[in-house]
Structure formats: structure tokens, C-alpha cells
Amino acid sequence: MDTKKAFTNQNLISREIKNQNIEIINMKKPEIEQLVQKFSIHYGEASVIALALNKKINIIFLNERKVRNVAKQFGITPVGTIGVLLTLSKKGEISKDTTIRLLLLIKNNPKDYWIDPKIIDRVIKELKF
């Protein structure tokens, strides 16, 4: 990420925290570390699941299959990038063409985003019909 973009994102996040649209919650490390050790997942992913359990959140944003399966074991519904894009498209928030363009952007930039290209191709095919 370039410096200018990172600075812009930082300002956006800071503003949303100030406006109380983003809440910072300090989680207990043992809860997170227990998930990391038990399921061999990354600390950030374990933090998301621990927060969902702590706050009784039913739906969380996750892309990685292994972590999605862990979330499901706790009764949490994981939604990924494709699910968000499809929901926005179905609600008319973004057009099908925009959805397809975004999916192709993800597919064609595997260093920045990675979702199985076969899944992306299948979703694009479904969107075209």
C-alpha cells in the first residue's frame, strides 16, 4: 500500500473512531491465544472470533476457509468478500457489472487478494444469467 493511501485510510479510521462509528475493544489475550493454539489460526483471525463470542455477534467477515470452519464450530456465520459483493448486488447497491469488475480485479491480483479463481469464475457465470 502506498504511503498516501495508507495516510488517507488512517485519517478515515481516526474520524470514524472519533464519530463513534468504530469502537476499539481490548480483548483478553488468553482467549485469543487459546484459539490460535487450538486451531492453528492467525492472531488477527482468532481476535475476530473471540470478539464475536464475547459480544455475541452472529455474523463476521472472514475469507479464509479454515477460519470460516472454526467460526462455524462456534455457531458464528462467516461472510466473505464474495458474499458481501453478492448481497450488495442483489440489493441494488452496486450493479452486476460492477460486481463482475470487482471479482475480476480480485482474480487478476492474487498478490493483493486471493480467492480461488474457480469460485470467482463460477460466481461471475451465475451473475451473467
Contact 89, 96 (CB under 8 A): yes
Q: State the helix-helix crossing angle for 29-39 and 43-55, rounded to 10 degrees.
A: 120
Q: What pLDDT shows up at residue 128?
A: 86
Contact 94, 88 (CB under 8 A): yes
Look at residue 45 and tell me whether its pLDDT is greater than 90.
yes
In angstroms, what CA-CA distances link 95 with 83, 99, 114, 121, 127? 15, 6, 22, 17, 10
Is the pTM higher than 0.85? The answer reads: no
Please, which pLDDT band fits residue 112 given cuts at 50, 70 and 90? confident
Handedness of CA 73, 74, 75, 80 (dihedral sign): negative
Output the pLDDT for position 41: 96
pLDDT of residue 5: 56
Closest alpha carbon to 80 in 47, 55, 45: 45
pLDDT digits (tens, 9 = 90+) for 4-40: 555 567 788 888 888 988 888 888 889 999 999 999 9
What is the predicted pLDDT for the residue at 4? Answer: 56
**Domains of the chain by residue range:** 3-79, 81-128
What's the confidence (pLDDT) of residue 23? 84
Q: Which tens digits make up the pLDDT trace of 59-111?
A: 999 988 999 999 999 999 999 999 999 999 999 999 999 999 999 999 998 88
Can you list the positions of beta strands (E) in the chain?
Answer: 59-61, 77-79
